[in-house]
Amino acid sequence: MGQTFGSLPDEARSSPFVSSLVTGESGQWATTSDGVSYAAWHSPDGDTWTPVELPSSSVETAGERIVTVAADDDVVLLVADNGLGGGL
């Protein structure tokens, strides 16, 4: 069988999910939620993923808050809205 993947923190408000996944010239980009807060990730090859710093402080998983990514060739746009203001 496969390995166990992911976990659910005790303070989670929702189920974990992938909010966006895109491919650009520099690899794959994803934004996820662990049920508590959002995170952004980058992979040059689809196998090794490293965290990406968000444009605003920690963004909790809740209504009116989102982190998403879009890509077109060599341009990647990471958008974060923490409910108080957004950042690119």
Q: Give me the residue spans of the domains in the chain.
A: 17-35+53-87
Single-letter residue type at 43: S
Higher pLDDT among residues 79 and 44, named by residue = 44
> For residue 67, is pLDDT > 90?
no
User: By the 8 A CB rule, do 36 and 60 touch?
Assistant: yes
What is the average pLDDT value for the chain, to the nearest integer? Answer: 83
pLDDT tens by residue, 35-49: 888 899 999 999 999
Q: How many CA atoms lie within 13 A of 84 on its CB side?
A: 5
> For residue 78, is pLDDT > 80?
yes
**Rounded percentage of the chain residues whose pLDDT exceeds 70:** 88
What is the Rg, in whole angstroms, of the alpha carbon atoms belonging to the chain? 13
pLDDT at 22: 95
For 21-33, what is the mean pLDDT?
Answer: 92
Q: Is 85 helix (H, G, I), strand (E, B) or coil?
A: coil
Give the closest residue to 7 by CA, choosing from 32, 31, 28, 29: 32
pTM score, two decimals? Answer: 0.78
Higher pLDDT among residues 17 and 12, named by residue = 17
